[in-house]
Structure 1
Amino acid sequence: MDALCPVCGQPMSWISGHFHCDTCQTSYTQTALCPDCQQPLQELKACGAVDYFCQNGHGMISKKRVIFTCSLYSEE
């Protein structure tokens, strides 16, 4: 599954922990949100698997239900 640029719709590359669009020359971070409360999810990684947990009372969230959003990447 390719990550598409929210501006131009072209596929983006994964570079040093963020997405980069070569067409727009813009970088983005991706955030996983809970589908029930729209708050950021905690990402749990183990043995190559990635799971998501809502710390606001909704527990484990299926990858199929996670809402992914893009925001501009800034090096701070």
Structure 2
Amino acid sequence: MKRQYLFSAFLAREKCLLYYQGTIRYVVVTADSGERIQLGLKHFQPYFSALGLRGRFRLTLTETGAFDSLEQIN
């Protein structure tokens, strides 16, 4: 059974730029359930804007706990 997590993510533009420079590769988010999840910033790349990263997201993991999908929900 796939697991889903809902969370808000806010990352300043400067931090997003560090991803492109190769300085940071991961981010830790706290799901609405209180669980902390480490994700590769590469999954957020389609949602970066000139302001950075802002929004609500739904993370789906496979039955084995591997990354399945990430979608912005607002």
Provide TM-score, normalisation by structure 2.
0.25
Normalised by the length of structure 1, the TM-score is 0.25
Higher relative contact order (CA 8 A, sep 6+): 2
Structure index of larger Rg? 1
